[in-house]
Structure 1
Amino acid sequence: MEEEVVSKGTAVVACTAMTLSYVAILYAPTLILRLPRPPSFNSFMIRRFVCAAISSIVSLLICALILPIRRKEASVLLGVYGIQVDHIWQAVVFPVFLTSLMYAGSLVLKSLVLVESWRDNVNHSEGVSLECIKIIIQKLIASIVSVTSNVLAWRNFVVAPLTEELVFRACMIPLLLCGGFKPYTVIYLCPIFFSLAHLNHLMEFYSKQNYSLVKTSMVVGLQLGYTVIFGSYASFLFIRTGHLIAPLAAHMFCNFMGLPVLFSRRNGMVSIAFVAGMVGFLSLLFPMTRPDLYNYRSNNCKCWHGYCSWS
């Protein structure tokens, strides 16, 4: 990058504009373009997928124009956005493993449920048999097919994580860092934009789910709190690793797991696992996100995402 930097005001205004456009474009086909309502829920979601994709592409282009990048080459731009292939397996495996530690309680609970289901199948089949194994495999395949054909699954596990990470991490973090904000400030500032992009759920819950205003506020408030926490963690991963796929993989995993299970009345092992997982997570947070694990050049350099100052 050149010595010229983006002003803090420009960076904040650009991030605000990207946040508003990311939400507003979802309603543009009906409210602005006056297109007829989609005939089905699947069509409605596909239209939203297209809108989110357009918003992400526009944000990437705007970001490329604002950032003082000397060479407007694809490889340089992709590097700024954290899209790179070197150390890619580390950028997937390490963050997912680290994130899974926060879900130790959830994983133990799911394992217990799976074991109980296995025992029930064995008892009904009077022991382990090929027929029992066949039934379990068929159920597994059926569930996989059901997920892959579910438009909500595509939204939760593919479209939403990908577009949100592109806009709220790949675009905003370089802008804010280039604007002179410190890495720690960006980690706490970027999630604010991320959470604001979910405020539209307040209107949707209130109007479509027929919730009371109090219940809607509680549900959305919990969701906003969770998005702020996750947004900080995702920003941390992006800044530390320089890889977009690191927060993307963590995002997909979190969407799949849902909220972490803290305890279960059925088994105390869940609470023990959760506490142990959190201790492990906090202990490994910095060691497993060391910049040199994800980049060839991480010493004595002034890189755009500032990971040199973290080592």
Structure 2
Amino acid sequence: MEESEGSLTKPVAVIACIAMTLFYVAILYAPTLILRLPPPQSFNSFMIRRFICAAVSSVASVIFIALILPIRSMEASYLFGVYGIRSDHLWQAVVFPLFLTSLMYAGSMMFKSMSLVNRWKEHRNQDGQMFFDCVKNILQSFPGKMLSVTSDILFWRNLIVAPLTEELVFRACMIPLLLCGGFRAYNVIFLCPTFFSLAHLNHMREVYSRHNYSLLKASMVIGLQLGYTVIFGSYASFLFIRTGNIVAPLVAHAFCNYMGLPVLFVQRKGLVTVAFIAGVISFVWLLFPITRPDLYNDRTNNCRCWHGYCSWS
């Protein structure tokens, strides 16, 4: 790995990451505080305005990194490769990280499965419907439910906009910067989530004011959220560095947003706890084998400093 390429240093890399973090958060408030735009008329308008701000921040960060990194070629495929935006090994970057991430939610999926079975049993006892009739009803109602979900602004925030913009800024932009600044891969995995968690401190004000929580309760809620973002940020950084593909942490991010916090324990449902423990053990066992750099890359040697997977070969 070429850590000495160019004139980028560790302090410059850290300062640049802090600047991108502050800009990512600050621009969310720019429409009202700087542009003096009137307050949005609805929640959907408010979220769309934030989507635009996040997109502007992401594009600005991509341009900023292109100017600061020692990039010698302006070829499109080369530039996209800097940020892990690649078309090769695409199915591996989707399937393997998604499967690996789902193992941490084995307890959650067991709980959901048991709930669905219980609901079907109750429904069958009431209406006398057979299993295949229930499946038929579910399939018939599926298009309407999908339309309802995709028209929900929170769906776009949690599964599309937030994963895309956050992974682009906090993984695709910051990790190459830190690697080229001379930080080792293991250090980046734990350093990068620090910036990611700091970007969520703005939620403190929203939780405190909107939900009318006490300062102590709001601090506890945000503390839990920050702890979760640090853990997930480390995992997402690990995926990006190991695979060299932005799709890997992107699908993991969207999946985690959809599932929420993993279910660890449910009273009188011991199978949920057993499934969770089995999932954690499987996750730890498969973490390195299923993220081997050679599964996602044709070459794992003689590459640039922003291609972190080179240091793992």
- TM category (shorter chain) comes to over 0.9
Give the equivalent residue in structure 1 for 2:120: 118
Distance (whole Å) between structure 2 residues aligned to residue 129 and residue 270 of structure 1: 24
**Per-residue deviation, residues 175-197 of structure 1 (Å, max 9, x unmatched):** 00000000000000000000000
Deviation at 1:234, TM superposition (A): 0.1
Task: Report the 3-state secondary structure (helix = DSSP H, G, I; strand = E; otherwise coil) of the residue aligned with 2:112.
Answer: helix
Is the CA contact (8 Å cut-off) linking 1:183 and 1:305 kept in structure 2? no
**Per-residue deviation, residues 90-123 of structure 1 (Å, max 9, x unmatched):** 0000000000000010010011111112222222
Deviation at 1:146, TM superposition (A): 2.0
Give the equivalent residue in structure 1 for 2:255: 253
Equivalent of residue 68 in structure 2, options 66, 91, 98:
66
Distance (whole Å) between structure 2 residues aligned to residue 247 and residue 306 of structure 1: 14
Deviation at 1:253, TM superposition (A): 0.3
Equivalent of residue 241 in structure 1, options 236, 240, 243:
243
Distance (whole Å) between structure 2 residues aligned to residue 273 and residue 129 of structure 1: 25
Distance (whole Å) between structure 2 residues aligned to residue 294 and residue 156 of structure 1: 26
Deviation at 1:213, TM superposition (A): 0.7
Task: Calculate percent identity across the aligned residue pairs.
Answer: 68
Distance (whole Å) between structure 2 residues aligned to residue 70 and residue 239 of structure 1: 21
- Which ranges of structure 1 fall in alignment gaps of 5 or more residues? none
Call closer, same or farther: CA 1:129–1:80 in 2, change over 3 Å.
closer
Equivalent of residue 269 in structure 2, options 267, 274, 292:
267
Letter in 2 for 1:44: F
Letter in 1 for 2:42: S
Call closer, same or farther: CA 1:304–1:129 in 2, change over 3 Å.
closer
Deviation at 1:302, TM superposition (A): 5.4
Letter in 2 for 1:114: L
Is the CA contact (8 Å cut-off) linking 1:125 and 1:132 kept in structure 2? no
Call closer, same or farther: CA 1:114–1:141 in 2, change over 3 Å.
farther
Matches within 5 A, 1:144-293: 144-293=146-295
Task: Report the 3-state secondary structure (helix = DSSP H, G, I; strand = E; otherwise coil) of the residue aligned with 2:258.
Answer: helix
Give the equivalent residue in structure 1 for 2:93: 91
- Which ranges of structure 2 fall in alignment gaps of 5 or more residues? none
Letter in 2 for 1:117: R
Give the equivalent residue in structure 2 for 1:75: 77
Is the CA contact (8 Å cut-off) linking 2:176 and 2:305 kept in structure 1? no
Distance (whole Å) between structure 2 residues aligned to residue 132 and residue 60 of structure 1: 49
Give the equivalent residue in structure 1 for 2:42: 40
Give the equivalent residue in structure 2 for 1:12: 14
**Per-residue deviation, residues 117-144 of structure 1 (Å, max 9, x unmatched):** 2222222221317754443234433432
Is the CA contact (8 Å cut-off) linking 2:84 and 2:246 kept in structure 1? yes
Distance (whole Å) between structure 2 residues aligned to residue 130 and residue 261 of structure 1: 29
Is the CA contact (8 Å cut-off) linking 1:5 and 1:178 kept in structure 2? no
Equivalent of residue 31 in structure 1, options 30, 33, 47:
33
Distance (whole Å) between structure 2 residues aligned to residue 192 and residue 184 of structure 1: 14
Normalising by structure 1, we get a TM-score of: 0.96
Deviation at 1:4, TM superposition (A): 1.3
Distance (whole Å) between structure 1 residues aligned to residue 132 and residue 239 of structure 2: 45
Distance (whole Å) between structure 1 residues aligned to residue 292 and residue 26 of structure 2: 37
What is the RMSD computed on CA atoms of the aligned residues? 1.6
Distance (whole Å) between structure 2 residues aligned to residue 302 and residue 31 of structure 1: 41
Letter in 2 for 1:217: S
Task: Report the 3-state secondary structure (helix = DSSP H, G, I; strand = E; otherwise coil) of the residue aligned with 2:47.
Answer: helix
Call closer, same or farther: CA 1:186–1:73 in 2, change over 3 Å.
same
Is the CA contact (8 Å cut-off) linking 2:177 and 2:306 kept in structure 1? no
Is the CA contact (8 Å cut-off) linking 1:301 and 1:308 kept in structure 2? yes
Distance (whole Å) between structure 1 residues aligned to residue 158 and residue 304 of structure 2: 36
Distance (whole Å) between structure 1 residues aligned to residue 302 and residue 27 of structure 2: 42
Distance (whole Å) between structure 2 residues aligned to residue 200 and residue 142 of structure 1: 36
